[in-house]
Structure 1
Amino acid sequence: MTSGGTGRRSLTTLPKAHLHLHFTGSMRHATLLELAARDGIVLPDALVGEWPPQLSAADEKGWFRFQRLYDVARSVLRTEDDVRRLVREAAEDDVADGGRWLELQVDPSGFAARFGGITAFTDLVLDAVRDASRATGLGMAVVIAANRTRHPLDARALARLAAQYAGRGVVGFGLSNDERRGSTADFARAFAIAERAGLLLAPHGGELLGPESVGVCLDQLGAHRLGHGVRVAEDPRMLERVVERGVALEVCPVSNVALGVYSDLTSVPLPQLLEAGATVALGADDPLLFGSRLAAQYATMRAAHELSDAQLAELARMSVRASQAPAEVAARLVGEIDAWLADCSP
């Protein structure tokens, strides 16, 4: 991959779309500490003095530790105002990083008991999204995601919920958590429900498992986008399928390294993906646990692979094209990206 020279324009002013950000994981670390102190919740050292935590998902024990920290963080969200604050701050942080469109991924089942059920919680999140969008100017939408460690019937219930809100703030349906657990194909009926409602299908795959998991997401779930998908680079034929089908990859470099998928940022195969013609949208995944937000994903890839400003601008354009932003919004954002690149005085 020829870089064409290293870039120098500010990456926080590069307009971009953010397609891979989890609800709880978007929380500010300072907010986590404040809410925990308010309610007397004792946080593990990994979320306090040792933050960001040292993580690994190389084995079941490592993923369990990661998930435990995630569950602890979720537990501090106790009131409607907490939820509204999280969404507003996530929007503010994306705007500060050059974000112009955000698709926030939410699993309502994790909050149902505390907030009156999955429908009531979804209503709350969507109202918070509307308020945050008005306050910050950030275009926002929601992807409802099922948890693959729960029963596929739960996923069907969430798919029906997502279908009810299609066109009313919910734009997609996903599948998250440890892809090594259970059978991805068992969730096909849930994805069929979402597809009939016209929703984007965006399961996680090709991160903790290799290219074969990408094939299952394509063939069994009908994926339009892949959460992560980065390990498809290990199989040229599977990568060719992804490119031919126009399936975008939501690549999250910092979390890939933090979880041990790759040893370092230079090993993240972004150049191979781009050379093959793949559509890549960089995402932050869970900033609360990885300590890195949207602009940092671009900065780390710029440094690790000596990307030029032209290449970074194209990554931003791909993020917009892979999004569910309305056509007029997407066209405006691409124009803003072109203007960023045309600026001769970075």
Structure 2
Amino acid sequence: MLLKAELHCHIEGAASPELVIAQAKKYGADVSPYIRDGSFVWHDFTSFLAAYDFASDLFRTEEDYARLSEHYLTALARDGAIYSEFFTSPDHAIKAGLSPQAYTDALGEGILRARAKTGIEGRMIVTGVRHVGVDAIERAARFAARCGHPLVTGFGVAGDERIGDFEDYVRAFEIAREAGLGITVHAGELMGWESVQAALDHIKPSRIGHGVRAIENPDLVKRIADDGVVLECCPGSNVALGVFPSFAEHPFPALRKAGCKVTLNSDDPPYFRTSLKREYDIAAEHFGMSDEELLGVTRTAIEAAFVDRKTKQALLAKLKGR
């Protein structure tokens, strides 16, 4: 089985419809507006966020969150993943009535359970949410910097790219960077190449979540390649959301050919009827990539991972063994 690694997945968005239905039964919620025939229902980015928030609100206790991360990472491992980083949201924790620390500890417990069962390594990237506001993003950064959880290794900003400016988030990222956390930021998905350039100019991340709209500016593509910034690409998500009309028009191959470091990721997998395995299958089928080239994508992800050197070396050794 081809070994895989993932750097870009929102843990609340990774809850399968089956798990969400089980949670809804637990809390007496009606899923019918959001789940039909075993699939999430939405028609644009705004309705996607509504479905996402509904499902997220069904995770309310520490055990709920531990179950969520264990469930997701165990499924990933079955498909050949040896490493996963997922985004967490203190704002979801607060909305659920948990402290960010209890929420993070619970997700960490799920990571440890999955590792004990399958051997998969997992880490957490704390995120602020753009459409919640600048103050909330800075609170998230301060939490990430001080929480002390050994599996929290990065900080990022996600949410609706149409809201806010990167220069507003500089202080939040300074807080995280000073604490030694890895830095990634969503850009170049809903918004154009300018958002990627602004992220590079103001935030200076080592990784960009999505970043694919950079293809609209050849000079920016060259800058990304020259600087070695890693792009967390999510082709299935991009096509599902209409960022690109088809896989034939997705820029993953062009970015790779231009020398950009690219990785494959599932984003919010059940919402886009995808999985990490399907993303690798898409790359093989639509981008013509061989198993050796796909293993190279896995290697790029592990080399870019926000993880300690010893763990990184152990993961790279697993790739060499194949």
Both proteins in one fold, TM over 0.5: yes
Instruction: Please state whether the residue corresponding to 1:307 is helix, strand or coil.
Output: coil
**Is the Cα–Cα contact under 8 Å of residues 152 and 186 in structure 1 kept in the other structure?**
yes
1:330 aligned partner: 312
The equivalent position to 1:96 in structure 2, one of 78, 84, 107, is: 78
Task: Give the whole-Å Cα distance in 1 for the aligned partners of 2:119 and 2:38.
Answer: 34
Residues 137, 115 of structure 1: alpha-carbon distance in 2 compared, 3 angstrom cutoff: farther
**Is the Cα–Cα contact under 8 Å of residues 105 and 149 in structure 2 kept in the other structure?**
no
2:20 aligned partner: 32
2:10 aligned partner: 22
**Is the Cα–Cα contact under 8 Å of residues 159 and 194 in structure 1 kept in the other structure?**
yes
**Is the Cα–Cα contact under 8 Å of residues 54 and 258 in structure 1 kept in the other structure?**
no
Write out aligned runs for 1:178-197 (5 A). Answer: 178-197=160-179
Task: Give the whole-Å Cα distance in 1 for the aligned partners of 2:11 and 2:313.
Answer: 27
Displacement of 1:308: 1.6
Compute the RMSD of aligned alpha carbons. 1.7
Write out aligned runs for 1:1-346 (5 A). Answer: 13-49=1-37, 51-53=39-41, 55=43, 62-165=44-147, 168-340=150-322
Structure 1 unaligned regions, length at least 5: 1-12, 56-61, 341-346
Displacement of 1:52: 4.4
C-alpha deviations, 1:164-203, integer Å up to 9, x for none?
1357211110110111112222111100111111111111
Displacement of 1:50: 6.7
Displacement of 1:45: 4.2
Superposition misfits of 4+ residues, deviation over 4 angstroms: none
Displacement of 1:294: 0.5
Task: Give the whole-Å Cα distance in 2 for the aligned partners of 1:167 and 1:123.
Answer: 7
Structure 2 unaligned regions, length at least 5: none
Displacement of 1:46: 4.1
Larger RCO (CA within 8 A; separation ≥ 6): 1
* Range 79-88 or range 44-53, more displaced: 44-53
Residues 166, 222 of structure 1: alpha-carbon distance in 2 compared, 3 angstrom cutoff: farther
Task: Give the whole-Å Cα distance in 2 for the aligned partners of 1:327 and 1:111.
Answer: 30
Task: Give the whole-Å Cα distance in 2 for the aligned partners of 1:328 and 1:166.
Answer: 19
Identity %: 32
**Is the Cα–Cα contact under 8 Å of residues 42 and 51 in structure 2 kept in the other structure?**
no
Task: Give the whole-Å Cα distance in 1 for the aligned partners of 2:290 and 2:110.
Answer: 37
Instruction: Please state whether the residue corresponding to 2:266 is helix, strand or coil.
Output: coil
TM-score, with structure 2 as normaliser: 0.94
Task: Give the whole-Å Cα distance in 1 for the aligned partners of 2:115 and 2:269.
Answer: 20
Task: Give the whole-Å Cα distance in 1 for the aligned partners of 2:203 and 2:239.
Answer: 27
